[in-house]
Structure 1
Amino acid sequence: MGDRIEAVRFGRYAVPLAHAVSDAKVATGRQRPLSQIDVLTCEITSRDGVGGLGFSYTTRAGCQAQFAHVKEIGELLIGQDPSDIGKVYDMLLWAGASVGRSGVATQAISAVDTALWDLKARRAGLPLAKLLGAHRDSVKVYNTSGGYLQAPIEEVKEKAGLSLKSGIGGIKIKVGQPDMKEDLRRLAAVREHIGQDTPLMVDANQQWDRASALRFGRAVEELGLVWIEEPLDAYDAEGHAQLAAALDTPIATGEMLSSVPELVRLIDLRAVDFLQPDVPRVGGITPYLKVVALADHAHLQVAPHFVMEIHVHLAAAYPRDSWVEHIEWLSPLFEERLEIEGGRMRVPERPGLGLSLAGRAQEWRLDEVGFRGTGR
C-alpha cells in the first residue's frame, strides 16, 4: 500500500529585508522598492512519521493569492502516497485547471512539490542532490544582494570586496538606469575594484529595448562579463535570440517565466547561453527537472535564480558546473546556514533540503491553515 500523507500545513510569511533595494524597474518607476519577501510554506507529515518542508515566494504581490489557492486544494493531499510526486502534481493541476497551468496556481503547487521531494530524500536519508544524482559536492556561487541601484558606487564596491573575502566567487550588479552612461561608469568602477579575473555579471531586469540592449552589449564586450541578464522583456524570446547571436558576451534570462513551455521556447530559439529557471516560479522541482533536461540536451549552461537553499541541490545535480545566486534574504526563515568557501557553495550533507523553519519564523507569520486525516 505504501505510505500516506497524514497532515499538511501551509503558512504565509512576510520576511523583512534589512534594507529596501531598488533595481531598474524601480529606477524607471514601474515598481516600488523591495522591502520584504513573502513566503508560502508547506509542511507535510506522512503516516510513517516522515516529514517534508517546501516553500514558494513572491515579491510585492501575489502570496495571498497563492495561499488562497492551496486553501482550496490542500485537502486533496490527505491520503495520497507522498512518493507518487508526479501523480500528486497532476492531481493538483487538474484541481485548479480553470485557472491554468502557470502563474499563481503552479507557484502555489511549487511549495507542495518541493515538500514532497524533500520528504522523499529524507526518507532515503540522502541530501536532495544525492537523491537526484549529484555530479559534484559544491557549486559556483556569486553574490547579487550587494549590487542594487539604490546603493552608492562606493558601497557597492565595499560589499563586493566583503563578498569575495567571505569566499563567494563572483559578483553581479544591477544596471538599466535611465542614463546608460551611469551604468557604464558604475560597472567600470566595480571591474577595476575587483580585478579583471573575478567573475562579474550584470542584470538589467528587462529594462532595455532591442537597440539599447545591443548598444550596451557592444559597449561592455571588453569587460569579459560572465553574462548580461534580462536585457529585454522576459517574454521577448526572439529579441533575446537576436541579441545572443550578435554579441560575444553570453545572455542569461528565464527567471520570470512560470511554465515549462515558456522556458522551452528560449531553448528552442537558442535565445540564452545561461538559462535561469526558478523552482518556485516555474511550479516546483518536478517541472524544473523537465526544463533542465532539455537545457542539457541543448548544451546550455544553467544558473537558477534566487532561492539558493533549493538551487544548491539542483545545480549540483546538473551535468554542467553551474552558478548559484547568493541572496541571503530568506536565511532568517531557516535554522541552518549554507557553507561557502573558495568561490563555491557546499551541498548540505543533511537529508532532504537540509532545512527547518527557525523558531523566530513565527514573528513573520501572517496566516496558516492545516489539513489532517481522520486516522481511519
Structure 2
Amino acid sequence: MHLASRVQTLTPSSTLAISAKAKELKKAGYDVIGLGAGEPDFNTPSHILEAAKLAMDEGFTKYTPAGGTLELKQAIQNKLKQDQHLDYGLDQIIVTIGAKHALYTLFQVLLDKEDEVIVPAPYWVSYPEQIKLAEGTPVFVETDERNAFKLTPEQLEESISEKTKAVIINSPSNPTGVMYEREELEALGKVCLEHDILIVSDEIYEKLTYTATKHISIAELSPELKEQTVIINGVSKSHSMTGWRIGYAVGNQKIIKAMTNLASHSTSNPTSISQVAAEAAYTGPQEPVAEMREAFNERLEKLYDWIVAIPGIECVKPQGAFYLFPNVKKAVELNGFATVDDWVTALLEEEKVALVPGSGFGAPDNVRLSYAISLDQLEEAAVRIKRFVENHQ
C-alpha cells in the first residue's frame, strides 16, 4: 500500500530510538544507564494525584470542551498573570494533549504549502517534522557554540524571506539548556516586528532554571510582542506530569480559535482527569517544583564537572532544562570513530551508557545527556564514559 507523501519523509525520534535500544539491552540483563530520558524521574506530586483520584471518584470522566475546561483555562490565565504579568482572555487559551500537540496544531492552522519557519539549530527533534507535516519548510539556522547556541538578530534577519511565517524560540532550550536574556529577546523581537513574523515561544522548561537570571517570555516585553507571540507551555516538565499529556497554547484569539476548531475534529478534547490534575498543579502547592529544581541543580553542577574533565569533551554550561549538550568531536577523533553516531553506538555496546547523538538535533558534533536520573547513576555513567574514551585512545 502506498503511504501518503507527507509521512514518507518523517524521521523517527532519535530520543525514542536510543531509549528503545537501551531498554532492549536492559531486558537482556545488562546494567544499562540511560541518559536519553526527556522526562523528570520524580513522581507527580501527591496533591495532584489526589485531585485526579477525586475526579474519577466523582465521575468526571466524560467529554470536556475541545479547548479545555473553564477551570483549567482560568488556572493557566492566573499562572500567566502571576509569573509573566501577562493578561489573556479565556478565548486566547487552548488546552492540548501535551505541548507537542499544541505545536502540531499551531503549525497545522498556521502554515500553507512552502511557508517557511525559521528553526535555530540545535533544535528539538519534532520541530522540523511537525513543520513538514503541515507542508511548510523548516529553515535551519546554525547557531554558534561560542555564543552559547543562541540565535542572533543578524542571523534571524539574514534567514527571512518573503515566505517566512514564523520563528521558533525555545528558552530554556532542549537540547542545549541555554536561556535567552532580556536584551537578546528584545533584539530578536525587534526583527520579528519589523518583518511581521510570528514568534513561537516554547517555554516548556520555564520552571527548571538554575541561575540568578529570571526566565523571561518574549511576550512580556511589550504589548506588540505579546500580540506577535504564541506561547507554548504545559505541566509535563514543571510538575513531572509527562504521561498526563496536558499542554497549552496562548496567543492571538484568531489563531487559538482555529486551533480549537481543529482539535475538535481530531482529538475531541484533552483527557478530563488529566485536566483536573493540571488544574491542581497550577493552583496547589508549588514546593514540589522547587524541590525538583534544587535536585536538578545539584546534579547539573556535579555532572558538568565530571563530563568536562573527560579528554576531548567540551560543554556550554546549561542554565535550564535537564540536559547537557557537550561537543564530543575531539573525543570521537581521538577514539578513531568516523562519526558521533558511531561513537554513541559503541559506547552503548561496550559500556552500556545510552546517550542521544546530536545529529537528531541538527548538531552532529554533540551528544545530549539527560540528568533526570539519580546522582549515583550519573557518577557511574561519567566513570564509564571516561573509561571508554581512555580505552580507545
Q: Which has the higher strand share?
A: 1
Q: TM-score, normalised by structure 2?
A: 0.34
Q: Which has the higher helix share?
A: 2
Q: TM-score, normalised by structure 1?
A: 0.35
